[in-house]
Structure 1
Amino acid sequence: MTDALTAPSDPGAVLPAGLRLGVAELSVADLERSAAFYEDVVGLRTVDRRTGEAELGAGGVPIVRLVEVPGARPKPRDAAGLFHVAILVPERRDLAVVLGRLARDRVRIGASDHLVSEALYLDDPDGNGLEIYRDRPRSEWPYDAGRLKMATEPLDAQGVLSLLAPDEDLDAPTSAGVKIGHVHLQAGDLDQARAFWIDALGFELTTTYPGALFMSAGGYHHHVAANIWSSRGHGPAPEGSAGLRSFEAILPEGMDVDAVERRLRAAGRRAERRDGALRVSDPWGSTIVLRAA
């Protein structure tokens, strides 16, 4: 990485610290199949249902919207687009319930300790990547020379599972307070990803891995990540594929959205106003929808 990747070109042009992520919208081939997966495997509950769409979440708050695209095929692994949508649970014990359920049902998963968080990884029926994770308190996040330190180490699965009661109800709905914590994307080029997400949009770089950028607002470990691990030089998936349709970034005030629109216009980026929200896509078609709280 070069020093040019460490900050926006204008240090004052950053997204507000109060940013949070809202609903992530995914294309799926079979709505019934996918809704059942997000309820039975992930632990979400249906909040709203209409023809061709379902919203699922926790505590009555939607966090995932599924849109049926009949005949949709999984995104090719080397295509730019979604790497995973990450669902953040409030406590380590919530992660234990998810891990216990996945282990009981023999769902194929990955599991990692990232120093700032503990995470489980799996795919939905259409190959859309999911992460389910819990954050460590910010006071425990490690730093090295002022840069947030993250790693990929083995998860202490037994330590997590030890939090379960002997008669734990592994099928209980996910706790209220669950939300989308971050969205990890595949990109065709890191310099172009940096120019869009950092220079134009206003996220700040928090850390890097070889071949990946991690970006956030307000010092979070990351709200958005982009990697080129298998997608370097590749374009988006074929039209009609399953995958990410969009995800929301909710800003504290309308003036924050206006400021983003001005930055995008100055950077020559095309954005669309729709229903009071600002929609803009990265060079590979991954769309973020910015709106005021």
Structure 2
Amino acid sequence: MPTHFHEKPNLYISHVQLKVSHLERSLQYYTTIIGFSVLQQDETTAYLTFDGKTSLLSLVQVDNALPLRDGLTGLYHFALLLPTRKDLGNIVQHFVNLNVRLGASDHDVSEALYLNDPDGNGIEIYVDRPESDWTWQNGSVHMVTDRLNFNPILAEADGQWNGLPEGTVMGHIHLSVADLEATEQFYTKVLDYEVVTRYGGQALFISTGKYHHHIGLNTWHSQGGAKAPANNIGLKSYTIVLKNEEYAEQVKEKLLAAGYQIEQFTVAPLYGGKQAFSTEDPNGIRIIFTVDGE
């Protein structure tokens, strides 16, 4: 599996924070079905881990939770990238054993499973094909949505499912946005992402370092949509790792110059690294920037 895409200097996603309606129910799902373990927990928040050190995902219970619905911006899905195809085979077998309902797609660059948590939050679990097998043409990477052939994946499984494997990362995040053009301007002009694939006028995929995508953006259920209320189920924030403090200052200056507000954050080691600041993108989606993902 290519690993350098989720290391500095790339602008990779290190953590996702989800709002849920019932913390214990969600914890049961994410530990039993997905394979996380709990790193730290209080009455309303749980930090989930695979390695017992850093958190890839945290769950926050909100009072008077409003359900997910169309017409709001936020999470389409977050995506956990497994190290090997054998790992994908093992989790497929695990899902089969538990009779878990799931979707699946072959994207040419990757092989992916799709699930929804008890609140309907979207989850992708995938494995990348070798980087040498990706097809690039005129700066765009070839991606499709074809039926996934489970047979060769299951053939590599060894039955050793003990939760998410060592080396799992937050591979990417896919967002539901209100205005694709304004969102593209933000991520490519204010931040330093590059567009690597477009799906007509309704979706695009962006990355750094020629990954197939660190962030997906679409308007399929959210064109002209509103920012989700604070007590709505869904995305609370996601975290982007910046390569160093000098670069963080440059990002901050560009955000301010473009008219975006910045909020300072205190250090929170469970997110992996030092939190520097946060902002909201044009869709009201909260981004937390960390200076160091170590």
- Relative to the length of structure 1, the TM-score reads 0.89
Matches within 5 A, 1:1-293: 17-60=9-52, 61-165=54-158, 168-170=159-161, 172-210=162-200, 211-275=202-266, 276-293=275-292
User: What is the SS of the residue equivalent to 2:55?
Assistant: strand
Is the CA contact 1:75–1:237 (under 8 Å) kept in the aligned structure 2? no
Give secondary structure in 2 for the equivalent of 1:161. Answer: helix
Gapped regions of structure 1 (runs ≥ 5): 1-15
Contact 1:186-1:228 within 8 A present in 2 as well: yes
1: CA distance between counterparts of 2:90 and 2:173?
23
Q: By how many angstroms is 1:145 displaced?
A: 3.1
d(CA) in 1 for partners of 2:227 and 2:188?
Answer: 20
Q: 1:173 to 1:131 in 2, by over 3 A?
A: same
Match of 2:271 in 1: none
- Per-residue CA deviations over 1:99-155 (Å, capped at 9, x if unaligned) read 111222222211001111111001101111110111112111111233211111111
Q: One-letter code of the match for 1:251?
A: L
Q: Tell me if structure 2 keeps the 8 A contact 1:252–1:292.
A: yes
Task: Give yes or no for contact 1:281–1:287 (8 Å, CA) kept in 2.
Answer: yes
CA distance in 2, matches of 1:154, 1:230: 23
Q: How far 1:189 sits from its partner (Å)?
A: 1.1
Aligned letter for 2:154? L
Judged with a 3 Å threshold, the aligned counterparts in structure 2 of structure 1 residues 101 and 71 are, in CA distance, closer, same or farther, namely: farther
Shift of 1:78: 3.3
Amino acid of the structure 2 residue aligned with 1:289: I
Paired position in structure 2 for 1:9: none
Cα distance in 1 for partners of 2:163, 2:46 equals 17
In 2: Cα distance, 1:102 partner to 1:78 partner: 31
Change (3 A) 1:259 1:146: same
How big is the shift at 1:86?
0.6
Q: Give the letter aligned to residue 37 of structure 2.
A: R
Contact 1:80/1:188 (CA < 8 Å) preserved in 2?
yes
Cα distance in 1, alignment partners of residues 157 and 220 from structure 2: 36
Asked if 1 retains the 8 angstrom alpha-carbon contact of 2:78 and 2:174, the reply is yes
Structure 1: how far apart are the matches of 2:221 and 2:114? 17
Q: Distance in 1 between matches of 2:163 and 2:79?
A: 18
Q: Distance in 2 between matches of 1:182 and 1:86?
A: 5
Secondary structure at the residue paired with 2:125?
Answer: strand
Match of residue 4 from structure 1: none
CA shift for structure 1 position 265: 1.5
Please state how far the C-alpha of 1:280 moved relative to its aligned partner. Answer: 1.0
Helix, strand or coil at the partner of 2:195: strand
Moved more, 265-274 or 153-162: 265-274
C-alpha displacement of 1:18: 3.1
- Rounded to whole Å, the distance in 1 between the matches of 2:35 and 2:204 is 30
Per-residue deviation at 1:84? 0.3
- CA distance in structure 1 between the aligned counterparts of 2:87 and 2:49, rounded to whole angstroms: 15
CA RMSD in angstroms, aligned pairs only: 1.5
Q: Kindly provide the CA deviation profile for residues 177-197 of structure 1, in whole angstroms up to 9, marking residues without a partner as x.
A: 111111100011111111222
Following the alignment from structure 2 to structure 1, what is the Cα–Cα distance between the partners of residues 71 and 86?
Answer: 35
